Structure 1
């Protein structure tokens, strides 16, 4: 199994538009494990398109409970179950993840019960273990170590950057965050830093297209990172490759790769990847 990061959903925010990318989700293969990270709309199809069987689902990590990161968590687990999942899956998420999962099970109670009775399937609830985590060590098993750092994503307080170390490689994910200097230490020397990024020139277009977010501008600037600041942080951390993901905007034809690269040119001179749905990054 190659050390590889699949960017399954690359846009910031919950809205989807014709021909545009999906919200945030990733598949990380490292230290012999397959790890789904965040579960925005489209994650199930995205995982399948990488060639992975849903019956191989192993570990899931959720960075925070905004809908564009969890809306398809239940759908992923349920579809894996109907595909033939028969081994336990562990889901790591912040406080509230267990309540989210219980709510999903309640909403699909009729379907789950009838499939158990009619098709002889194992109990879905018994296959899924929810582990709620906070800042600090999260997971250690068979050479894979995962640690979490609380980041600045108001008004959400339980939002965590994640560091995955295994097989001599390190991958760090910023999660959703305003510019947060402590991330540089957390990501120091990483093979890959995946950091969210926003272009200020695109913010007004997003607000105009959305229409029903009276305080959306204030939220975006208080809770997200400008692309140039992501580049500064990557330079300070001396990471090997910077991946811009959770792009704001990601589905505006007025902006393309050149705009992101121009924003980072003064502050980052290393390998740079601009996320697109389905893109695979080897490291």
Structure 2
């Protein structure tokens, strides 16, 4: 579908258990915005994918919020990434913080991390609070910074610790918010926030991967966690210059869902996603992005670090034998780009079902 130059420029400008039940106010907001999300009684049985946010990039966009997905299994909630606006979408979805068991962070880019601390900070007390420790799983320190892509010297923030991992991100966010937290504990009897989270930095297997070398060498998936509802495994994917960058697979008694995180076309994705009922994969429309007049560094990043929508079907979804391909982390994420364009381009070379992700979309897994 041809797009006007005005549309291209505008689109790419924004590129650079019962515990599931919500409060009446949150339920009303969800009803107004969810466009068909099922009631909590449905989510309490089976496995359900809820796309909270579907946009790529750190800049807010009209019609989509930052990337975040919820997998709900028999009423328990597992989140993958928390981009900008995800906290608001979580509440509008009708999901409850009391049912949240774990959060999985694919990598430490701001558009996947922006609302992680917000969720903890604004829900450690008050209305619909966290009621038990939530497990945070994600990358540790990269260990090294790449050379500047421009070839010119740049400043280094926090030179004594320039590559903090997920644990440092959370701990320092808590420390920086100590005044508000201390006040609420004293004035409103909120609990000690430190008792409501557990950070687990995911060790990178010894497969020859490094931040300055091969970021996603061929490897087998490895276990991350398991409980009575899910078994979670991960694999390294290529999203330079970020390291490590993980994709996650969730196996449940009802079916399997794999999340790519951010990645260029990576053979490891086929390995991880093989036989999945649902593959949630990031997508970029490079035809539009290339017409936008980006800087050489910006364009090179998009070409090297993301998956062109026309390649996902034939190079990932089809060889992995997935049943349903769901496009998310859309770039450009503006609604100026119609769903029909995304779907037609993703369907090339793939005969399975293709769904174009939209905020608050619900997909039953194995149903």
Alignment partner of 1:114 is 2:183:
yes
Asked if 2 retains the 8 angstrom alpha-carbon contact of 1:6 and 1:279, the reply is yes
Alignment partner of 1:10 is 2:59:
no
Alignment partner of 1:275 is 2:318:
no
Tell me what 1:38 maps to: 81
Tell me what 1:222 maps to: 304
The alignment partner of 1:122 has SS state of coil
Counterpart-to-counterpart distance in 2, 1:262 and 1:143:
35
Give me the TM-score of the superposition, normalised by structure 1. 0.93
Counterpart-to-counterpart distance in 1, 2:68 and 2:203:
20
Counterpart-to-counterpart distance in 2, 1:118 and 1:143:
37
Cα deviation, residue 56, structure 1: 2.5
Q: Closer, same or farther in 2 for the Cα pair 1:169/1:31, shift >3 Å? A: farther
Counterpart-to-counterpart distance in 1, 2:257 and 2:130:
27
Q: Closer, same or farther in 2 for the Cα pair 1:110/1:271, shift >3 Å? A: same
Cα deviation, residue 143, structure 1: 4.4
Counterpart-to-counterpart distance in 2, 1:242 and 1:57:
25
Counterpart-to-counterpart distance in 2, 1:261 and 1:25:
20
Cα deviation, residue 118, structure 1: 1.1
Counterpart-to-counterpart distance in 2, 1:280 and 1:132:
29
Tell me what 1:160 maps to: 246
Tell me what 1:178 maps to: 264
Asked if 2 retains the 8 angstrom alpha-carbon contact of 1:38 and 1:62, the reply is yes
Tell me what 1:56 maps to: 99
Which protein is richer in strand relative to its size? 1
Counterpart-to-counterpart distance in 2, 1:40 and 1:77:
14
Tell me what 1:140 maps to: 226
Tell me what 1:196 maps to: 282
Counterpart-to-counterpart distance in 2, 1:207 and 1:278:
32
Counterpart-to-counterpart distance in 2, 1:134 and 1:221:
28
The alignment partner of 1:186 has SS state of helix
Cα deviation, residue 198, structure 1: 1.0
Please report the RMSD computed on the Cα atoms of aligned residues, expressed in angstroms. Answer: 1.6
Cα deviation, residue 207, structure 1: 5.2
Asked if 1 retains the 8 angstrom alpha-carbon contact of 2:343 and 2:355, the reply is no
Alignment partner of 1:75 is 2:118:
yes
The alignment partner of 1:81 has SS state of coil
Tell me what 1:242 maps to: 325
User: Relative to structure 2, which stretch is displaced further, 59-68 or 24-33?
Assistant: 24-33
Q: Closer, same or farther in 2 for the Cα pair 1:206/1:170, shift >3 Å? A: farther
Cα deviation, residue 129, structure 1: 0.5
User: Relative to structure 2, which stretch is displaced further, 126-135 or 113-122?
Assistant: 126-135
Counterpart-to-counterpart distance in 1, 2:333 and 2:124:
32
Tell me what 1:151 maps to: 237
4+ residue segments displaced more than 6 Å? none
> What are the ranges of 5 or more consecutive residues in structure 2 without an aligned counterpart?
1-43, 141-164, 205-221
> What are the ranges of 5 or more consecutive residues in structure 1 without an aligned counterpart?
none
Asked if 2 retains the 8 angstrom alpha-carbon contact of 1:207 and 1:216, the reply is no
Give me the TM-score of the superposition, normalised by structure 2. 0.72
Asked if 2 retains the 8 angstrom alpha-carbon contact of 1:55 and 1:85, the reply is yes
User: Relative to structure 2, which stretch is displaced further, 199-208 or 132-141?
Assistant: 199-208
Alignment partner of 1:126 is 2:209:
no
Matches within 5 A, 1:13-28: 13-17=57-61, 19-28=62-71
